[in-house]
Amino acid sequence: MAIQQKLSLMIPGPTPVPEKVLQALGKHPIGHRTKEFQDLVERTTKNLKWLHQTKNDVLTITGSGTAAMEAAIINTLSKGDKVICGDNGKFGQRWVKVAKEFGLNVIKVDAKWGSPLNPESFKQILNDDFNKEIKAVILTHSETSTGVINDLQTISSHIIAHKKALSIIDCVTSIGACDVPVDEWGLDIVASGSQKGYMMPPGLSFVSMSQKAWQATEKSNLPKFYLDLKSYKKSILNNSNPYTPAVNLVFALDESLKMMKEEGLENIFKRHSRHKLAVSDAAITLNLKLFADKNHLSPSITAIELEDIDAEVFRKKIKEDYDILIAGGQDHLKGKIFRIGHLGYVNDRDIISVIAAISNTLLDMGKISCNQAGEALKIAMKDLKTI
Ligand SMILES: *Cc1c(COP(=O)(O)O)cnc(C)c1O
């Protein structure tokens, strides 16, 4: 039994938090209507725009990622509006549910779990919409439940060609992990959450809003109060918040964004990319099957299929023996897959440890040879050095 006090969090959120960020959380709160707090908000807002590669407004909400997505929907749409929802996993499914809950008329574009959404399907529906009835396209960039990354750049180009529809994108496990150039790709609304690529505890979420998205808010008639983004926009002009923000989480955000700037966007993306490569190559070497289409692997999470082992038993053993928490499968995938989060504050050592833990567990179970276990680490080490 390993010491259970040194948890290695290899799930796709919450993700590990650096000491500097934890220390920022432990400071005394300050008044949220003070100059000191306004200076903080001014800085975090500027740095959030840097992270999103945008000139658009990026608003901070107290709430998890779902709050940001719900805000996007209820602020720009009206009851009965026609929207396209991409659905190729648990999160895509959630946005279909939210859209229906608010009385939207949902056209679903789906793909099998583990496969990417087909951009051509979006193109076709948007092209055929002669009367410009489609008001928004809602989709998930990195589908955390399956480890698939969707081709957002191409889908966005089809949305732009339609001219009327807004893009409402869940970038919760892509922002801070891979390139999401909001302005260059013309993304209207991008939602994300603090406990993922931001290297922070849960509690804050972020929404970036284009001019076109703000125009849409003028027509939206869905009920809203706490998540009325117009009140956030009005406050942000004064580096303020409409309600009491989670002051200590904003301290933490300030630190995490500073750390991200020190590392640089390119380096952050490269780190996630080599971790993805190392984990997926090691899995293949261990005769394990990647659940996601191998040309569409998410930078933040690798889902691995187990054939004759219960994935729940497998990940419990890894937790007990090594104090490494990996995620299980959701819904029908429970027991069938496990998921390794390599998102946020993750270094090469974390990757080597998780691969060694998986290899050793398979070895214990008599599923692989010593040689294979060695080969998996060898290829992972090579990947970690090459990018
Ligand atoms: C984690 C996650 C969310 C947000 O979920 P919350 O529990 O509300 O923070 C949304 N979308 C994706 C793809 C996620 O991975």
pLDDT above 90 for 387:
no
pLDDT of residue 55: 98
Considering the chain, what percentage of its residues have pLDDT values greater than 90?
98
Mutate to test the pocket of ligand 1, among 85, 88, 91 (most ligand atoms within 8 A of CB): 91
Average pLDDT, stretch 54-71?
98
Q: Are the C-beta atoms of residues 72 and 214 closer than 8 Å to each other?
A: no
What is the Cα gyration radius of the chain? 21
Query: How is the chain split among helix, strand and coil, in percent rounded to 5?
Result: 45, 15, 40
Distance 62 CA to ligand 1 centre (A): 14
Domain 19-262 has CATH 3.30.70.1450: no
Residue nearest to atom 6 of ligand 1 (CA): 65
pLDDT digits 0-9 by tens, 79-130: 999 999 999 999 999 999 999 999 999 999 999 999 999 999 999 999 999 9
What's the CATH number for 8-14+265-383? 3.90.1150.10
Distance 138 CA to ligand 1 centre (A): 14
Q: Are the C-beta atoms of residues 175 and 200 closer than 8 Å to each other?
A: no
Q: Who lines ligand 1 at CB under 6 A?
A: 12-13, 64-66, 91, 140, 144, 170, 172-173, 193, 196
Residue nearest to atom 5 of ligand 1 (CA): 65
Per-residue pLDDT band for 1 (boundaries 50, 70, 90) equals: low
Distance 239 CA to ligand 1 centre (A): 27
Q: H/E/C letters for each residue in 82-112?
A: EEEEEECCHHHHHHHHHHHHCCCEEEEEECC
To the nearest 10°, the Cα dihedral for 39, 43, 44, 45?
A: 100
Q: Nearest 5°: CA angle at 378, between 372 and 384?
A: 140
pLDDT digits 0-9 by tens, 121-168: 999 999 999 999 999 999 999 999 999 999 999 999 999 999 999 999
Considering the chain, what percentage of its residues have pLDDT values greater than 70?
99
pLDDT above 90 for 23:
yes
Distance 67 CA to ligand 1 centre (A): 10
Q: What are 191's strand-pairing partners?
A: 170, 207
Where, residue-wise, is CATH 3.90.1150.10 in the chain? 8-14+265-383
pLDDT digits 0-9 by tens, 176-210: 999 999 999 999 999 999 999 999 999 999 999 99
Where, residue-wise, is CATH 3.40.640.10 in the chain? 19-262
SS3 of residue 225 by DSSP: coil
Q: Are the C-beta atoms of residues 166 and 188 closer than 8 Å to each other?
A: yes
Cα dihedral sign, 26-30-32-34: negative
Task: Quote the pTM value.
Answer: 0.97
Distance 386 CA to ligand 1 centre (A): 31
Mutate to test the pocket of ligand 1, among 69, 94, 144 (most ligand atoms within 8 A of CB): 144
Extended beta strands in 212-361, E state: 289-290, 301-305, 324-328, 337-341
Cα dihedral sign, 311-313-314-316: positive
Average pLDDT, stretch 234-248?
97
pLDDT digits 0-9 by tens, 284-309: 999 999 999 999 999 999 999 999 99
Greatest Cα pair distance, the chain, in angstroms, is 64
Distance 66 CA to ligand 1 centre (A): 6
Q: Find how far residue 122's CA is from the centre of its chain.
A: 22
**Cα–Cα distance between 269 and 112 in angstroms, integer?**
27
Place of tokens 């007990």: 320
Mutate to test the pocket of ligand 1, among 9, 15, 66 (most ligand atoms within 8 A of CB): 66
Per-residue pLDDT band for 58 (boundaries 50, 70, 90) equals: very high
